[in-house]
Amino acid sequence: MPILLAAPLLPAFGQEPTIEELNRMIEELDRAIEQTDELIGEHDAAIGAADEAIESIDRTLEQAAPYGAMAPIPLIGADGSTIDPQVGEDFEEAMWCLNGLDVFSQLVELDEDGTVLINTGLDFFAGVAIEHADTLGLDHDSVISLLEEKRPDVVDTLETAMHPTQNMPMIDFCLEMTQLYSDMLAADGGQ
């Protein structure tokens, strides 16, 4: 590239270049080298950014690998259902919430004592339960009131009930948790 840029500056065939012409050619070559260095720097930066993106994708894939075999989560409002056909469609949104809770709680990191922060997952479920109170057959305001006033009781009850269900199929786990949550709120005036 530098040679091509300098070619027009060469004197006519058979003439000796003057000092000024040589200096001008050197300046042009220096500019061409600077431009080439800038292009190389931009190229290296682009390669570095691509490498970082690939590493980030690899890390994400490694973290997501354990969840690759999980059944698909039903999408609220989507046509068709990924839920077991034996289960009533009325449970669809509640099961989506519970499936989300199960995945969410597994992704939560440990706290300082090494205890799984399952309460964060339960708070996630509670938030979705508030949003979809009607679908769950619950009174919206009563759900909010119960969760505000008796959150520790709700968390303890749900957390205790989760332990024996760890090896259950997801569909049974969802049904059991849906029933437990609904019964608990109904007993407190949530229905």
Among residues 24, 46, 65, which one ends one of the domains? Answer: 65
Looking up tokens 């600077």 gives 34
CA distances from residue 18 to 4, 13, 15, 28, 32 in whole angstroms, order as listed? 20, 13, 9, 15, 21
Whether residue 89 sits in one domain with residue 35: no
Whether residue 139 sits in one domain with residue 57: no
Number of domains forming the structure of the chain: 2
Q: What is the pLDDT of residue 55?
A: 82
Q: What is the pLDDT of residue 171?
A: 47
* Residues in the chain, pLDDT under 50: 1-6, 70-91, 93, 103-111, 113-121, 163-165, 169-171, 190-191
Whether residue 54 sits in one domain with residue 87: no
Whether residue 179 sits in one domain with residue 147: yes
DSSP states of 71-136: PPPPPTT-SS--S-TTS-GGGHHHHHHHHHHHHHHHHSPB-TTS-B-HHHHHHHHHHHHHHTTTTT
pLDDT tens-place string over residues 5-15: 445 555 555 67
Q: pTM for the complete prediction? A: 0.29
Q: What is the pLDDT of residue 108?
A: 43
Q: What are phi and psi of 96, to 5 degrees?
A: -60, -45
Among residues 41, 65, 89, which one ends one of the domains? Answer: 65
Q: What is the pLDDT of residue 57?
A: 77
Whether residue 46 sits in one domain with residue 7: yes
Q: Measure the CA–CA gap between 151 and 157, rounded to whole angstroms.
A: 10
Domain with 21, as residue range(s), is 2-65
Whether residue 78 sits in one domain with residue 60: no
Whether residue 107 sits in one domain with residue 164: yes
Whether residue 42 sits in one domain with residue 122: no
Whether residue 164 sits in one domain with residue 96: yes
Whether residue 103 sits in one domain with residue 57: no
